[in-house]
Amino acid sequence: MSSPAPLVDQFQRRITYLRLSVTDRCDLRCAYCMPERMTFLPRKDVLTLDEMHDLALGFMARGITRIRLTGGEPLVRRDMIELVQALGRRIGADDGRGHLEELTLTTNGTRLAEFAEPLRAAGVRRINVSLDTLDRESFARLTRRDSLPQVLEGLAAAKAAGLRVKLNTVALKGVNEHEIADLVAWAHGQSFEATLIEVMPLGDVEEDRIDHYLPLVAVQEDLARRWTLTPSGHRTGGPARYWDVAETGGRLGLITPLTNNFCDGCNRIRVTATGQLYACLGGNEQVDLRAALRSADPRGALDEALDVAMKIKPARHNFAIDARGAVPALARHMSMTGG
């Protein structure tokens, strides 16, 4: 019996990276991400962990070798570590049923103190932690929760557990632009990588995003006046472009969905906690994998759905933040799609 074909879209991009959201729920309420009174999905609509595992196995059989677990905040889902452990057993597997080269996680860090060691034991070696400020008052104002001490405790636990950490920081005009350099320097001093991200126009929030949109070209110019930035040959297969910082000895990534589109080399797809596959973060093209999983022929239906996904994946997204009062590019929030 021949193996299923690898995932290749209509633009001949090989898809090897899955971002799998395990929940849309989060214990923070970052102002640029969601409103304070966020309406979350009914639990009955969310895939079970067994279904997520079956889904991941189906993707691996089609050539997915890297999986990142996301949310919302993935660590708020009860028993989520069991899914990590099950997927971790596929790292380096050589039984002809697909394997993983890497299993990673994106988290806000509030629960890392509890989960850093179990994540490491399950096979996770690298995590991304979202952190936009080191100032406690600014953190509480931005996230609407006074949780910075827990995040810093979690980062220390991750470091002690031997996890490689990359800090993801959304650059926000008038909010954290004055401390970006200090945050990067702090990260490098902790032996963490740092990546800066432009704010994305996803979902309605209570503020106008144009007020806080900070093009990273301006941030890069500011940092270049302070430090020596040299283009890095480092690549992860993701959207970041990297720079080596001579003075800190660390690496800086820039993710620019608005000012410098990075879609030509896209190798990823996203699946929500309800099993909806979005072929592009910035598009509405989707395929219902939950229906496939719950059909009479789950494996066959899943393969058919993935073939459809490869045909509808667009060439690029079309994000823009250029007018006050403009509706977001997409109605759904990042927490629903998977960060």
Question: Residues annotated in the binding site for GTP, as ranges?
Answer: 19, 68, 106, 166, 268-270
The binding site for [4Fe-4S] cluster comprises 26, 30, 33, 263, 266, 280
Q: Which two tokens stand for residue 171?
A: 């650059």
Counting Cα atoms < 13 Å in the Cβ hemisphere of 92 gives 3
Length of the chain: 339
Asked if 234 contacts 222 with a C-beta cutoff of 8 angstroms, the reply is no
Q: Which two tokens stand for residue 193?
A: 């990588």
Q: Phi and psi at residue 308, in whole multiples of 5°?
A: -65, -45
- Give the whole-angstrom CA distance, residue 285 versus residue 306: 12
Residue with tokens 């020596």: 228
Residue with tokens 């909010």: 175
Q: What is the dihedral of CA 327, 332, 335, 338, to 10 degrees?
A: -120
The binding site comprises 19, 26, 30, 32-33, 68, 72, 106, 130, 166, 200, 263, 266, 268-270, 280
Q: Chain centroid to CA 196: how far? A: 13
The binding site for S-adenosyl-L-methionine comprises 32, 72, 130, 200
List C-alpha distances in Å: 330 to 8, 318, 327: 25, 10, 8
